[in-house]
Structure 1
Amino acid sequence: MTQDRSDPPAHDITTEIDSLRTALTRNKGKRIRRLLKTMHPAKIASLLETLTPEQRIAAWHQIDPSVELKVLSHLPIRLRVQLRRAMDADAKVALGELNQPISEDTAAAADYDEPETQLSLVFDALQNGKLKRIARLFRELHPARIAGLLESLPAAERATAWSMVDNERTGKVLRHLHEEVRQRLAAEMDLEDLVDAARRLEPDDLVDLIQDLPDTTGRQILQAMNMRERARLESMLSYPKDSAGGLMNMDQIAVRANIKVGTLLRYLRLLDELPPNTDKFFVVDRKNQYQGILRARRVLTARPEAAVEDLMETDFEPVLAEQSSEEVARRFEQQDLISLPVVDAENQLLGRITVDDVVDVIREQAEQSMMRMAGLDEETDMFAPVLASSRRRAVWLGINLLTAFLAAWVIGLFEGTLQQVVSLAVLMPIVASMGGIAGSQTLTLVIRGLATGQLESRNTRILLLKEAGVGLLNGLLWALVVAALAIVWFGNWAIGAIIATAILVNLLCAAFAGVAIPLLMRRLHIDPALAGSVVLTTVTDVVGFFTFLGLATLVLL
């Protein structure tokens, strides 16, 4: 009897148990859950019997709580007892109550536990292999809180905990993760799971996710979308991530100026729900040219026969798609906006930006500024690999070493003076420290002014004079204080006068440097938050040491 050519050879057939064992070996929790979800409880029971004890426990932790009792009913008594011991006592009691996940709004408002307690629960569950406990905890938390817990875990534990996030919430958790962590967790997901998670995201959040992924993965996600979704996403992806076009969503409601309010209300009732943060509608003509806005509150209070053109505001300025995200965030902050229309160079309405996206921009900018002050602008994952973190930090440590050698060279010029007057070495750190602190205060003020747009070329001179005045007053005050202490300490009036003069000069220099350095760096297209503090420290150290030791050489020797 000949074999039908359409039948594959027996050794090429991959069974469900083979797929399950492969997923267990590779620790692919989401794939295991997806396989088990499609099986009948009796089939799951038969598969569990074929696994090793370790594999059986691992697979059991991935079974949906709603079918646990049904699976147990099909197992022999010996295996049933073994798996019941693996279950948490509270899980057995509350098994029937865990099938309905809490809504995100309820979870966000619930006073569950302190963050430290939640993190310790996750660590304890990971240590004891109680993965179901993690799954239960994650079901009761907002996606943003889950993201925070994942970022607090080392890489290996993070991957295990990530596998316990429900597939329905994976996309929303990804949205709240830092870029570096998001890339790593997304890279560990199967393409099918990643596409499924992407479909559950809003278009603007999906665009952010695709931009953070490798090009190949991003293209695969786009190809998995239908033609309409793909065209929409490609249009949004054509704009830089840090631009208004990169922030916008295309869920706006556009209306014509010649319709009645009653017509608009009937149209709105046909919708399942309004897009989030809909506080205004955008008025366009037949060619989709932006004409103005119609506030939602006006629609609710106007008479049905009133025309849109009588209620619309024509002086509300849209934002160009090419405008930077910093300028957009500044406008939201200054005008307390909830949404803002986005247009192209031809005034065609493209979409809208909502306040939730701008809040993310402001938060990211604040975090980046803080990290850049320490030269860690690329290190968003505090549990990043050792080699990667070392490589990033080594650059700025090397730059700092060069500046330290420069200060050391200045000190070396006065080696003879220090050998003859040892007390100068004791007072040197005071001069450098006072200048560094005063300069950092001015530097921070100027960087903030540049970031918020409060500092421009017209008012730079005023700020410079103001900071010079502050430096002069503080310099005189603390010069007298330090001089008096030095005289009491060493009994030498000359040393007191020298250190007083050095502190005064260094504080004035620090004020000028604190203003000039960030302005110069911005003109050279260098981020002052990233390199300003290194340059400032070098300037105040060199000026302080040179002034202090130079005066000592002239006066004391």
Structure 2
Amino acid sequence: MNDDTDLAVRSDERGPEDELALIDDPAFIERVEDAIEAGRGDDLRDLVADFHETDLARLLEALPAPARPKLIELLGTDFDFTALTELDETVRVQILEELETETVVEGVRDLDSDDAVYILEDLDDADKQEILGHLPLTERAALQRSLDYPEESAGRRMQTEFIALPPFWTVGQTLDYIGETEGLPETFFEVFVVDPTYRLDGSVPLDRLLRTKRGLKLGDVVTPDRHVVQAVDDQEDVARVFERYNLISTPVVDGAGRLVGVLTVDDIVDVIQEEADEDVKALGGVAADEELSDSFWYIAKSRFSWLLLNLIAANLASFVISLFEDELQKLVALAVLMPIVASQGGNAATQTMTVAVRAIATRELRASNARRVIARELLVGLFNGVVFAVIMAAVVFARFEIADLGIIIALAMIINLVAAALGGILVPLALNRIGVDPAVSSGPFVTTITDVIGFFAFLGIAALWF
């Protein structure tokens, strides 16, 4: 797309791939920037108003920081605030701080409650209360109640818009209510049945509701919900419930059993993605909340502690090497081969640790099967150790023509790969047992174990042998 005619393809003629191509086109971004700079709201609407919220978020990230809030102000009611939920936290907060309070209030009012909470929760208390103060009492109370629940809990994720009716209502009354009442949730999968105090009796799925005779009461067709979620439950635990039982939605209740919200599968997909992202970052020594849009100083500080731990581990390994300085001077080949043993052990330990950490996070690795899994990893380490020991013994003999050196590195390889297998699973289990997140803390400990044992085994055996 090179000319203005192509860039101005009407939004109702675009497909998803067209929007992606536009966002990646520097000429299109330049046109959007020009429209923002000149304050041409109508031109801007023609270009982006009907973008899907995900693509609109990508467009915001592609624009310079000063242009982002201006785009939202110019689009006015045509801007879908749901797009802000797709942005990095840093970018989202920067935009919200630049927008007029009235603009944010109107945008939040049009959102589902779960999206509104997602946007508000990252603001500081003063900004949060200012926005809530401009909302009608009913909406403010619902959002405040969700914000009062712990972070990463079901209460923060739930949607407070749902349909709850008494058990004496008939199916006919319910269908008429759904068809004639304004302000109901845009998407829902069941009708909840509650008593006068809003305690949950169960639910009636929409497919059953549509197939049931109009004269029957809801209390006669209600199904007790077997997978009710507490508002204070951790979102990761809730995600596992959805995964295990193939749920589409589930009710959320407070400590007294009163219905306070509903969780749907689209919310859970976001949770699964976030938790997986956190685990991957943690295994690499990166803070869970680090994002591409974060500042240099924030990223440098967040990574420092991990690098410091690795530096301590490296110094410990270096100390072990220094204990065998005389042996290294006698046989230079030891210095050449030493990194191979440590590197192979480190890679093997990382493999085991990654599997163990993930299994702990998903509750697949438990006390009931821990012994079996440890024994399996021990056998895997032993098998790989023997195989690679034979390979390295042959390589060393061919390279240095010293048979004894081949035997030494073979024995060290077996010892280190067995230690790597045990360390890779025992360290995460031990950390989890004492309440420390194994994804965050396992790496330095496992690295230290494999380096120290690898160097000590190789050089120690060499010292005894020669």
In the superposition, the TM-score normalised over structure 2's length comes to: 0.91
Corresponding position of 1:431? 341
User: 1:403: how far off?
Assistant: 1.2
1:121 aligns with 2:121: no
For these two proteins, the number of residue pairs brought into alignment is 457
1:310 and 2:188 are equivalent in the alignment? no
Q: Which has the larger radius of gyration?
A: 1
Structure 1 gaps, min length 5? 1-87
Q: Determine the C-alpha separation between the residues in 2 that align with 1:536 and 1:122.
A: 50
Within the alignment, does 1:213 sit opposite 2:123 as a pair?
A: yes
Structure 2 Cα separation of the partners of residues 281 and 92 of structure 1: 47
Structure 1: how far apart are the matches of 2:273 and 2:25? 26
- How far residue 135 of structure 1 moved from its aligned partner, in angstroms, is 6.4
Q: What's the counterpart of residue 451 of structure 1?
A: 361
Deviations 1:316-337 (A, max 9, x none): 2311111111111111111121
Q: How does 1:108-257 map to 2 (within 5 A)?
A: 110-112=16-18, 114=20, 118-121=23-26, 125=30, 129=34, 131=36, 137-151=47-61, 157-165=64-72, 166-168=75-77, 169=79, 171-257=81-167
Alpha-carbon distance between aligned partners in 2 of 1:229 and 1:124, rounded to the nearest angstrom: 37
2:250 to 340, 347, 351: 340
SS at match of 1:342: strand
Change (3 A) 1:483 1:138: farther
Q: Does 1:521 align with 2:431?
A: yes
1-structure distance, mates of 2:183, 2:397: 77
CA deviation string 1:390-443 (max 9, x = no partner) = 222222222221111111111111111111110111111111111111111111
Distance of 2:23 and 2:213 partners within structure 1? 52
2: CA distance, partners of 1:341 / 1:392: 37
Quick one: structure 1 residues 141 and 170, their matched pair in 2 at CA, closer, same or farther if it must change by over 3 Å?
Answer: closer
Unaligned runs of 5+ in 2: none
CA distance in structure 2 between the aligned counterparts of 1:162 and 1:175, rounded to whole angstroms: 15
Matched AA of 1:112: D
Is the alpha carbon distance of 1:89 and 1:454 closer, same or farther for their aligned partners in structure 2, counting shifts above 3 Å? closer
Indicate whether 1:90 and 2:4 are aligned. yes
In 1: Cα distance, 2:87 partner to 2:465 partner: 61
Corresponding residue to 1:401 among 311, 315, 324? 311
Equivalent position SS for 1:281: strand
- Secondary structure, aligned partner of 2:193: strand
CA deviations over 1:88-116 (Å, ceiling 9, x no partner): 9737996xx86xx65xxx97x5331555x
Question: How far apart are residue 501 of structure 1 and its match?
Answer: 0.8
Q: Name 2:239's counterpart in structure 1.
A: 329
TM-score of the pair, normalised by structure 1: 0.77
Aligned-pair CA distance for 1:518 = 1.0
Aligned mates of 2:83, 2:433 — CA distance in 1: 39
Equivalent residue, structure 1, for 2:170: 260
Task: Give the superposition deviation at 1:121.
Answer: 2.4
Tell me which amino acid in the other structure corresponds to 1:546: F
Contact kept? 1:292, 1:312, Cα under 8 Å = yes
What displacement does 1:514 show? Answer: 1.0
Letter in 2 for 1:231: A
Q: 1:231 to 1:379 in 2, by over 3 A?
A: closer
SS in 1 for 2:250: strand
Q: What is the alpha-carbon distance in structure 2 between the residues aligned to residue 283 and residue 127 of structure 1?
A: 49
- Contact 1:277 1:339 survives alignment (8 Å): no
CA-to-partner distance for each residue in 1:241-271, whole Å, 9 max, x for gaps? 2111111111111122222211111111112
Q: Counterpart of 1:70?
A: none
> Does the 8 Å contact 1:329/1:362 carry over to 2?
yes
Q: Relative to structure 1, is the Cα distance of residues 122 and 385 closer, same or farther in structure 2, using a 3 angstrom cutoff?
A: farther
Identity rate, percent: 35
SS at match of 2:24: helix
Shift of 1:198: 1.8
**Partner AA of 1:160 in structure 2:** A
**Secondary structure at the counterpart of residue 215 of structure 2:** coil
